[in-house]
Structure 1
């Protein structure tokens, strides 16, 4: 149980750094190039790990056409998810990106309850509903009274992009849970990232956007590659692992705390201020998540 909570805390903290990093890279690289480099960098690393530690699972994939199909569908969903999400970050902010994770929760829980019996069991506890409502209210307060954007029209379009990405992610998580019954999270991450990276690379080549990578400094390009590895470890590997081992419901509840983590990182590193109302909203988020994560006593 302690290990489960350690993973949850680590995910929240690391994702708090992840959104500012993604925001910075989205402003310096075109979306296709951004995702192509990041996904291929992280995916190749995980593929190398898989070749050494999970050879038996790789053989399992080769022998099972249905697993290959599911991984391909997962990669396509990931491609769509991150295309909309990165474009949304460009037009809004790191904090807005993390906050929009809360919008996936109601839909993801509903869908998970339809397809998975164990997820239905998780949401029978009344404290889950009370805590989730509190967390959603707190998250909305946190964003509404913080993160003011000068270009409201651009922010609106960015919000649509973020919302679309989050919707795709809710479907994606269901497939992750299904594939997770057969494969380790590292193997799933490796194949999803590599396939998605290849899709982005192909699109960048066909549109001519790939040439723009020659115009940036080597340092910034290395930084993009490292951010891809960091992003794969946090946003993909850890997320897939939590969905696989702890469920879609737990994963979506953890998403509610990430805006608070992102805001704290932004305050420390970027000197972004948090006003008193935001502080109250953040406190409500934490209290709500504690209620929602409380297990039903038998």
Structure 2
């Protein structure tokens, strides 16, 4: 059984890591076609992750190779991940960052409903008032943070972009259900097949669409950044996200996703020089308090206060 402090540390690494990953992804999506973007990123990350798994988890990797069902599941998740990322990138291009963030926040109730519907342990988490109060605070805080940080503009292709974002959400939630069902598999070994299948499917579609040649015209520094971002994303985003889903559950993962607009804005502030308004800081505090309540981090302190009041 992992300690609460360790789990909190893992969650903190994840939300901070995803914030930086989204900033990198947003920059790369402005210069590289989505299929090529996904293909090279997942290929670079998948190769390095495979070498890491061979070095650190050879037993788990060999075990996975003897389980055709889990291999097929990891490949299926990879195909879904490629589709999810493609629709998300296209949706962001056709709408804007605000709309993409709003869809990400609004996906949380949908994800919780799906998780509670299929898994009794997830359903158990929704029986506490603190979860619903914390989730409501987190959603409101995240929406306020996004709304006051950007201006919403509706341009040509907005409805198609919104449809792409909705498809991305549906695919992602289905993908996460499959990941949770693969509890007996090491996530590092599982992620090897997932990232490589996502890469090969994206590059194959890029070849079919005759967009693969774009890579020849890209400057070397952009290719290097794309490879580095892919390695970083597979470790910080994919493997860590799968680990959280397996060890802490889908609902915990959904709550953590609501913190990402805040960490993304922090990363964009330091890397891209984007401004953060004072009102956003207020909403950021609401998000953190709400997430702490929903995840049960603040529950212990409340019990202590109640106990001390009774003894007095």
TM-score, length-scaled by structure 2: 0.88
- Does the 8 Å CA contact 1:103/1:166 hold for their aligned counterparts? no
1:290 positional shift: 1.5
- Between Structure 1 and Structure 2, how many residues are aligned? 297
Q: Which residue of 1 aligns with 2:308?
A: none
**Among residues 261, 274, 277, which one is paired with 1:275 in the alignment?**
277
Q: 1:145-176 deviations in whole A, cap 9, x for unaligned?
A: 22125554455544432332122111111111
- Answering whether residue 113 of structure 2 is matched by residue 107 of structure 1, we say no
Q: 1:108-143 deviations in whole A, cap 9, x for unaligned?
A: 211211221211122211110111111111111222
Segments of structure 1 that go 5 or more residues without pairing to the other structure are none
Q: Which residue of 1 aligns with 2:224?
A: 222
Q: 1:48-104 deviations in whole A, cap 9, x for unaligned?
A: 122233333333333322212212221121111111112233345556545533222
- State the distance in 2 between where 1:153 and 1:248 align: 35
- Does the 8 Å CA contact 1:149/1:155 hold for their aligned counterparts? no
**Among residues 85, 89, 93, which one is paired with 2:88 in the alignment?**
85
- State the distance in 1 between where 2:161 and 2:198 align: 22
Larger radius of gyration: 2
1:178 positional shift: 0.9
- Does the 8 Å CA contact 2:74/2:191 hold for their aligned counterparts? no
Aligned-CA RMSD value: 2.1
- State the distance in 1 between where 2:162 and 2:246 align: 28
1:280 positional shift: 3.0
Q: Which residue of 2 aligns with 1:8?
A: 11
Distance 1:102 1:28, change over 3 A: same
- Does the 8 Å CA contact 2:141/2:286 hold for their aligned counterparts? yes
Q: Which residue of 2 aligns with 1:240?
A: 242
Distance 1:4 1:234, change over 3 A: same
Q: Which moved more, 1:236-245 or 1:282-291?
A: 282-291
- Answering whether residue 182 of structure 2 is matched by residue 166 of structure 1, we say no
Segments of structure 2 that go 5 or more residues without pairing to the other structure are 304-312
- Answering whether residue 64 of structure 2 is matched by residue 61 of structure 1, we say yes
